[in-house]
Amino acid sequence: MIYGRGLRGLALVTTATVTVALALVFFYAPLDADQGFIQKIFYIHVPLAIVSLGGFVFGGVLAVGHLRTGDRRWDMRSYVAIHMALIFGIAGLLSGSIWAKASWGHWWVWNEPTLVSFLIVLLLFSTYQPLRFAIEDPERQARYASVFTIVAAAFVPLNFIAVRLAQQYVHPRVLTLSGGNLPGSMALTFYVSLIGIVLLYITLWRYEMAAKSARMHIRRLRRSLLDDEALPAMKRSAAPS
């Protein structure tokens, strides 16, 4: 199966990259002058949030493929992409809350555009599975889910634009279009962490795709075997006595 090809090598590369990223976080990146050690959660929280939003867009692109071709494989790819993005998004939300509590003294700040806009996108995609499985017909289920995914994915760039246009915020702006204000050691650590989280998302996506493809293949083989066993019995019953 195509999803299993090279998966072992990808998993090893992912493990090595994440290990290097964690080593940089704990032993190379300097302590923040204001926040101290707790600031190091930034190297996990921000990549998780970025990859989560990217995963939602990825799911939307795959959904376009399903609507254009009608091939259910595109729908399955989109489903897994959103499933993984939700997991990464929840992890990003939890890590961000821990950072907020340590830094601001509150688990959540409702007047912060970055937090609220990310939460809106996450809650929007959290309705994907209930909506999908509320429809029994497989064809309609896949089609409606694809339409929903494409529309919801459009909110991701809107989320980015809204945050950038916000005039008042308390959330730190360490990454900007002009390059940000991270020192060299912090920037290196961040980008290695981001690469590690991206690879982790791709690896988990391919693992789940390989597992689902294997289950579908087994179901087809099982149905084929049952049909082969049932055919002679039907011929015998239809034969004249």
Q: So where are the chain's domains? A: 2-170+182-230
* The pLDDT value given to residue 82: 95
Distance CA 46, CA 50 (A): 6
pLDDT in tens, the chain (241 residues): 565 677 889 999 999 999 999 999 998 888 877 777 888 888 999 999 999 999 999 999 999 999 998 888 899 999 999 999 999 999 999 998 888 888 878 788 777 777 888 888 899 999 998 888 888 888 889 899 999 999 999 888 877 776 666 655 555 555 554 445 677 888 899 999 999 999 999 999 999 988 888 777 677 677 666 655 555 555 555 555 5
* The pLDDT value given to residue 227: 58
CB atoms within 10 A of CB 57: 18
* The pLDDT value given to residue 178: 44
| 21 conformational bin, left if phi > 0, alpha if psi -120 to 50, beta if neither | alpha
Strand partners, 36: 32
CATH of 2-170+182-230, one of 3.40.720, 1.10.760, 1.10.10, 1.20.120: 1.20.120
> What is the model's pTM?
0.83
- Tokens 């920037």 sit on residue: 187
How many residues comprise the chain?
Answer: 241
- Residue pair 89/52 in contact (Cβ under 8 Å)? The answer is yes
